């Protein structure tokens, strides 16, 4: 039985906690090179105790497919030890190489400092990449606090992009070729994967599969792909930054900008407290260091972002929440003044864990808060709804509200129910939970195994679909090429 630390009680590696200082004259590449040399030697000689000596006791190791064929977060040296003992030999982790030029000191707050660096590696089935953050300790040694490993490509089956794109001249043959693909004519155009739904999730996984050489058929009930966007919105307006929302192989144009004015008398009924942050300030603080004009390419930014396991991310976001609230002070005070119930998220971490755990309970303010403050959107939150009436709503305290239209904006239900409606109860009863966080802080079932062989769910916002569509496509390709038998190193129930 492995003695474990409680991941929900993790703390940040502050300089005070570590009783450490950052030297004035610091050579980040040299420090990273020294640490990584010892790490790589330990891995390649299977010297697990030696590897663990390079980690803090409460370090995180997050793996996405590369060493587990799953999404796992191992917290604390005992769990990392068991993971390496179980998987190091089996996966053939080797050929570790540090990107020395990427090593840099980062100080997000005065009491936080780490050197972050990228590295690459091979396993028996593919190529991988990783991110490591090492921190100073009391005796001057630097140790890893967080490391992440990602599967990037399968041996012999790279994405057909860049120098591997189609090189032959087309000379007007594309329309005929495309029509044969649409009609699934010929053996080469028979689909290996069926994708139900032609929204952002379906289109992104279809694109990923295409450039891995897996034919996919997208089934959409509406006349055009993306029609749910067209029938719900007058235009596509992003509440996130443009740089956060690029799609794989198809970034938004560099001219694309960011972000109820129809004379309707609106009353918003608020059932419970809501976390509110402005996109003006919150977006810059949370996303600005990674996703901004002139920043790292989206695939690099995604790897950095994912290298913060969710319960480590929570700790950083607790600080972000305070910074954003100070900048949003006038708006938040105005909302409280008119009776709006403000929430601060799980453990006061803002929207971070709310998004992962329940996909709701927060609002990215793009103007509605001021409308509430000004009374242009009325507010009612003094009692829960009791029933509908002929003219509107009646509440538990006996009050009523007349309404011509009632719009439910109550968040998401169980993500399995739409699948059950399509696949029936026999399959629906076998589905694992899809959304929400498991004991390691990983999403339960999206983007990988969900209880029924070869059935997957692709879901999430534009950024999550961009990043994880690759991971899902790699699993499908690996099964098609017989390099993955479906066995995963999964969290114990």
CA dihedral 92, 97, 98, 102 (to 10 degrees): -110
CB 373 within 8 A of CB 336: no
Report the CATH fold assignment for 7-154. Answer: Nuclear Transport Factor 2; Chain: A, (3.10.450)
Pick from 200, 207, 275: which is nearest to 236 by CA? 200
Q: Determine which helix (DSSP H) or strand (DSSP E) holds 179, and give its type and residue range.
A: helix 174-182
CB 37 within 8 A of CB 122: no
What's the pLDDT at 138?
96
**Sheet with strand 385-388: strands edge to edge:** 385-388, 392-395, 400-402
What's the pLDDT at 493?
60
Break the chain down into helix, strand, coil percent, rounded to 5: 35, 20, 45
Q: How many CB atoms lie within 10 A of CB 178?
A: 10
What's the pLDDT at 260?
47
476: DSSP letter:
H
Radius of gyration of the chain (CA): 25
Tokens encoding 296:
């790292």
What's the pLDDT at 44?
95
pTM over 0.85, yes/no: yes
Q: Is 201 helix (H, G, I), strand (E, B) or coil?
A: helix
What's the pLDDT at 287?
82
What's the pLDDT at 61?
98
Q: How many residues does the chain have?
A: 493
What's the pLDDT at 1?
44
Burial class (CB in 10 A: 0-12, 13-18, 19+), 71: buried
Tokens encoding 175:
């329309």
Tens of pLDDT along the chain (493 residues) come to 445 789 999 999 999 999 999 998 899 999 999 999 999 999 999 999 999 999 999 999 999 999 999 999 999 999 999 999 999 999 999 999 999 999 999 999 999 999 999 999 999 999 999 999 999 999 999 999 999 999 999 999 998 888 887 777 777 788 888 898 888 899 988 999 999 999 889 999 999 999 999 999 999 988 888 777 777 766 666 666 777 788 888 787 776 658 345 567 889 999 999 999 998 899 889 887 788 888 889 899 999 999 999 999 999 999 999 999 999 999 999 999 999 999 999 999 999 899 998 888 999 998 899 999 999 999 999 999 999 999 999 999 999 999 998 988 887 889 999 899 999 999 999 999 999 999 999 999 999 988 999 999 999 888 999 999 999 999 999 999 999 998 999 987 6
234: DSSP letter:
S
β-sheet bridge partners, residue 90: none
Domain boundary assignment for the chain: 7-154, 237-380
């Amino acid at each position: 039985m492995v003695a474990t630390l409680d991941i929900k009680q993790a703390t940040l590696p502050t300089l005070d906690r570590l009783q450490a200082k950052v030297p004035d004259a610091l050579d980040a590449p040299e420090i990273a090179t020294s640490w990584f040399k010892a790490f790589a030697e330990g891995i390649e000689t299977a010297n697990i105790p030696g590897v663990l000596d390079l980690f803090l006791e409460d370090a995180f190791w997050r793996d996405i497919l590369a060493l587990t064929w799953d999404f796992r977060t191992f917290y604390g040296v005992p769990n990392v030890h068991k993971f390496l003992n179980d998987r190091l030999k089996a996966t053939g982790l080797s050929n570790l190489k540090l990107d020395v030029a990427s090593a840099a000191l980062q100080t997000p707050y005065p009491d936080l400092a780490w050197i972050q660096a990228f590295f690459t590696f091979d396993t028996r089935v593919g190529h991988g990449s990783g991110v490591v953050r090492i921190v100073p300790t009391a005796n001057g040694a630097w140790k890893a606090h967080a490391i992440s490993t990602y599967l990037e490509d399968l041996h012999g089956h790279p994405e057909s992009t860049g120098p591997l794109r189609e090189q032959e001249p087309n000379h007007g043959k594309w329309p005929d070729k495309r029509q044969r693909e649409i009609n699934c004519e010929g053996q080469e155009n028979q689909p290996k994967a069926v994708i139900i739904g032609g929204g952002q999730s379906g289109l992104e996984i279809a694109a990923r599969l295409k450039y891995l050489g897996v034919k996919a058929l997208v089934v959409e009930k509406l006349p055009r792909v993306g029609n749910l966007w067209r029938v719900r919105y007058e235009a596509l307006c992003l509440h996130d930054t443009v740089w956060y929302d690029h799609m794989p192989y198809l970034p938004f144009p560099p001219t694309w900008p960011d972000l109820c004015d129809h004379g309707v008398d609106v009353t918003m009924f608020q059932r419970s407290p809501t976390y509110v942050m402005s996109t003006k300030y919150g977006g810059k603080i949370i996303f600005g260091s990674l996703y901004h004009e002139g920043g790292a390419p989206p695939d690099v930014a995604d790897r950095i972002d994912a290298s913060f396991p969710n319960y480590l991310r929570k700790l950083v976001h607790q600080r972000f929440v305070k910074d954003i609230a100070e900048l949003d002070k006038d708006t938040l005070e105005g909302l409280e003044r008119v009776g709006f119930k403000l929430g601060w998220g799980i453990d006061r971490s803002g929207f971070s864990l709310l998004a992962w755990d329940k996909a709701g309970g927060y609002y990215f303010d793009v103007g509605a808060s001021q409308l509430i403050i000004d009374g242009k959107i009325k507010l009612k939150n003094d009692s829960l709804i009791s029933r509908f009436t002929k003219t509107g709503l009646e509440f538990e305290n006996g009050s009523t509200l007349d309404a011509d239209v009632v719009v439910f904006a109550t968040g998401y239900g169980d993500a399995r129910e739409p699948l059950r409606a399509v696949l029936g109860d026999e399959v629906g009863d076998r589905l694992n939970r899809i959304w929400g966080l498991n004991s390691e802080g990983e999403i339960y079932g999206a983007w990988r195994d969900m209880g029924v062989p070869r059935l997957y769910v692709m879901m999430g916002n534009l950024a999550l679909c961009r990043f994880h569509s690759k991971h899902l496509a790699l699993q499908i390709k690996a099964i098609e090429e017989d390099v993955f038998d479906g066995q995963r190193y999964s969290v114990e129930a």
